[in-house]
């Protein structure tokens, strides 16, 4: 507001009736998540097909707006599944680190990653994403049963607003989860 309300004589009355608290807004996201499916032919391991699914889904969602309820629901399910997996990874790693400290054991990163991945693969969000891979295979004319399917979740940092027009900013993808390992 361009008017400084504290200068008004009726500041207390104004705040009583027009008080605003902006704390309910979420902070802007810092990363964009990406979901990749890797289809590896069971008979010919050298045949590997990789699909990123979020960006094409968002493009389709924008094309069909405002009649995009199927794409909107799919986006919601995939995004929430990814966020739940990311939360599970964070919680699992924290638990693993805490238990290692209690036992005075050195943290073995490879072992921790293996245990976290094994746990993630038992969760419903992971199973939801793996079920969605069947739809991706169908849409890409792949016979699902002929392929081993792996999923990979990555993150790309979103540049700060002040840096939005800078072309020289290298945005790297960071691997968060890989079911192949």
How confident is the model over 134-159, as pLDDT tens digits? 999 999 999 999 999 999 999 998 88
Q: Quick one: pLDDT at residue 139?
A: 94
- How far CA 2 is from CA of 5, 6, 133, in Å, comes to 9, 12, 52
Check residue 63 and give its pLDDT: 94
Q: Report whether pLDDT(6) > 70.
A: no
The Cα 165–Cα 41 span in angstroms is 42
Region 5-30 average pLDDT: 63
Give all strands of the β-sheet with 31-41 in edge-to-edge order: 48-52, 31-41, 147-157, 173-178
pLDDT at residue number 129: 97
**Phi, psi angles (nearest 5°) of residue 28:** -65, 150
pLDDT of residue 1: 47
Residue 85's nearest CA partner among 120, 114, 33, 119 is 120
The mean pLDDT value of the chain amounts to 86
| pLDDT (tens digit per residue) in 25-83 | 677 788 999 999 999 999 998 899 999 999 999 999 999 988 999 999 999 999 999 99
CA 36 to CA 152: how far, in whole Å?
5
Mean pLDDT of 104-120: 88
Q: What is the pLDDT of residues 88-103, one digit of tens each?
A: 999 999 988 888 888 8
Cβ distance 34 to 52 under 8 Å?
Answer: yes
Q: How far apart are CA 125 and CA 109, in angstroms?
A: 24
């Amino acid at each position: 507001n361009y008017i400084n309300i504290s200068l008004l004589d009726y500041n207390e009355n104004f705040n009583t009736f027009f008080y605003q608290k902006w704390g309910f807004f979420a902070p802007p996201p810092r990363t964009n998540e990406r979901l990749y499916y890797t289809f590896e032919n069971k008979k010919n391991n050298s045949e590997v097909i990789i699909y990123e699914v979020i960006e094409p889904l968002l493009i389709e969602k924008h094309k069909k707006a405002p009649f995009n309820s199927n794409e909107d629901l799919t986006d919601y399910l995939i995004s929430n599944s990814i966020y739940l997996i990311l939360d599970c990874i964070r919680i699992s790693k924290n638990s693993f680190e805490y238990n290692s400290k209690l036992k005075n054991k050195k943290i073995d990163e490879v072992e921790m990653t293996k245990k976290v991945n094994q746990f993630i693969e038992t969760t419903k969000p992971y199973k939801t994403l793996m079920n969605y891979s069947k739809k991706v295979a169908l849409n890409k004319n792949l016979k699902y049963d002929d392929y081993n399917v792996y999923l990979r979740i990555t993150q790309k940092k979103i540049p700060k607003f002040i840096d939005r027009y800078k072309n020289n900013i290298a945005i790297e993808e960071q691997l968060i989860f890989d079911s192949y390992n």
